[in-house]
A and B are shown apart, each in its own frame.
Chain A
Amino acid sequence: MNEFHQTPSHSAPDPSHEDGSVYDGLLGTDSSQWAFGTDFEDPLAGVDTTVPDGVDHRMLAAYCLALADDALVFSHRLSEWCSNAPDLEEDIALANIALDLLGQARLLLARAAAADPDVVPVLPEGSPVPAEDALAFFREADEFRNVRFVEVPNGDFAHTVARVLLFATARLAVLDRLTGSRDAVLAAVAAKGVKELTYHRDYAGRWFLTLARGTEESRRRLVAALDQLWPLYPEMLATHPVEAAAAEAGVGVDPATVAAETDVVLEQVLAMSGVDRPQRASLAGVDGRTGRDGLHTEALSRMLAEMQVVARAHPMGQW
């Protein structure tokens, strides 16, 4: 279902009904009052989501989920800064970055669902929840395919600066290559994502430099944050079989192929900041399984419990 016919999204509530509100009578019968926020629209409405020839649709969906979940989970972590950032400008900046990533996640989840409807959790019959929301809100932690790097809890502002820098550097390099994907939807999502991630990376790079060259305390915190994140970082650039298969089919990117390019950018920031590369081994998987296999830290379950609670309480809810 790639196109939709628009029907009035919401009938005006009936004031005589017990669920009516004091505002009901003010709205009349003009349903355009409810234009925003009460209806779902398919983010890929009218987009051709045909799977390219010779590409396994299950593999394509799995690959899209990995890309989507990285963005979704990190977006949520960043949104936790809302009203908590050091100043108003950073609050807005982090919210903007979170919104960009949420937008990427939404398109990628919708793309995964269009490629393979079987990945979408089954909801009660008649539920108005669209596929991308079902994927975001009705999967368990072990069904998420994000790297563990994005799920660990926030630390201080320096921790977030270091995390945005590492994340945006790696993802920008991956999406830059993904613009050549044989899958037209992935190529389009990537092309837009590159423009957004360029801003994210510059933002984090500048703050990294500022904190490193700032006060003794800001530098101490930044170095500690980088050290803390370092063991999780290699997972982002490791090749998972799904990524290898996607690359092989010409629809995805093997992140290992952008490791060198990512490292050059990172070295630029580290050198200018006078910060040494931490000497820490990468966090091992469990029986060879990592985030991309659904093996996560406890932090993800806690995060999802909060993120999903309202949607799960109302599987038939119309928002």
Chain B
Amino acid sequence: MTTAYAVAATVTDPEMPMLTLEDLGVLRDVREDADGSVDVAITPTYSGCPAMATMRDDLVHRLRDAGYADVRVRVELSPAWSSDWITDRGRAALAEHGISPPGAAPIASGPVALNLLPTRRAVACPRCRSTAVELTSEFGPTACKALYRCTDCLEPFEHVKEI
């Protein structure tokens, strides 16, 4: 028998459909109660993530189709999502689809330091693997991505930011 977790784990992110919510680290918990009801916990990647409603509805829909009639989806705000929670499989899927996966998230200690220079990251072009890349913008088409350009193959690409 398929567990509710296994069903929930197949739901993909609405903005990066190559990733499941599990790969993205957004799916925090799936509990099946004795009465057959299912309680799912998800966490937003960013405070204003506009995909939360879609994620919730997709989870409910998929679980309903699998026979779970009573599904609750709750928000878990703490601990705050970190790009470190993206699984290895998720990172491979991102790279395969032309999106550069994040490096290690910064470790918080003391007051947050100001950084007036372009963020230094070890980023490789997901298409030609060249490391000759330049940052175009720290803010991309979704809150979780920055924009880069490869100066060898000249392709622009997106990089999932470290937070």
* A-to-B contact residues, CB < 8 Å: 2-6, 9, 32, 35-37, 39, 41-47, 89-90, 92-93, 95-97, 99-104, 106-107, 172-173, 176, 184-185, 187-189, 191-196, 198-199, 201-203, 205-206, 209, 261, 265, 268-269, 272
Number of A-B contacts (CB under 8 A): 145
Task: Assign chain B's interface to a size class.
Answer: 35 or more
Main secondary structure of the interface of B (DSSP, over half): loop
Interface presence of B60 (CB below 8 A): yes
Not counting A6-B60, A103-B44, A202-B115, a sample of 15 additional A-B residue pairs whose C-beta atoms are within 8 angstroms of each other reads A6-B56, A6-B71, A42-B75, A44-B75, A95-B139, A99-B46, A99-B48, A99-B143, A103-B46, A103-B48, A192-B44, A193-B47, A199-B161, A202-B116, A206-B116
Q: A37 near B53 (CB under 8 angstroms)?
A: yes
What is the chain A residue whose CB lies nearest that of B142? Answer: A96
With a CB–CB cut-off of 8 A, which chain B residues contact A173?
111
With the chains together, A9 CA to B56 CA distance in Å? 11
Do residues A89 and B163 form an inter-chain contact, with CB atoms below 8 A? no
Whether A96 contacts B75 in the complex (CB less than 8 A), given A173-B111, A269-B116, comes out as no
- Is the Cβ of B53 less than 8 Å from the Cβ of A41? yes
- B residues bordering A, Cβ < 8 Å? 14, 41, 44, 46-50, 52-54, 56-58, 60-61, 70-81, 108, 111-112, 114-119, 136-141, 143, 147, 161, 163
With both chains docked as a complex, state the minimum distance between the C-beta of A318 and any C-beta of chain B, in angstroms: 14
Residue pair B76, A199 in contact (C-beta under 8 Å):
no
Q: For residue B85, give the distance in angstroms from its CB to the closest CB of chain A.
A: 13
A44 and B143 CA atoms in complex are apart in Å by 20
Q: How far is the CA of A226 from the CA of B136 in the complex (A)?
A: 26
14 contacts between A and B (CB under 8 A): A2-B74, A3-B74, A5-B72, A6-B72, A44-B77, A47-B75, A92-B137, A95-B139, A100-B46, A191-B78, A192-B44, A192-B47, A196-B163, A201-B112
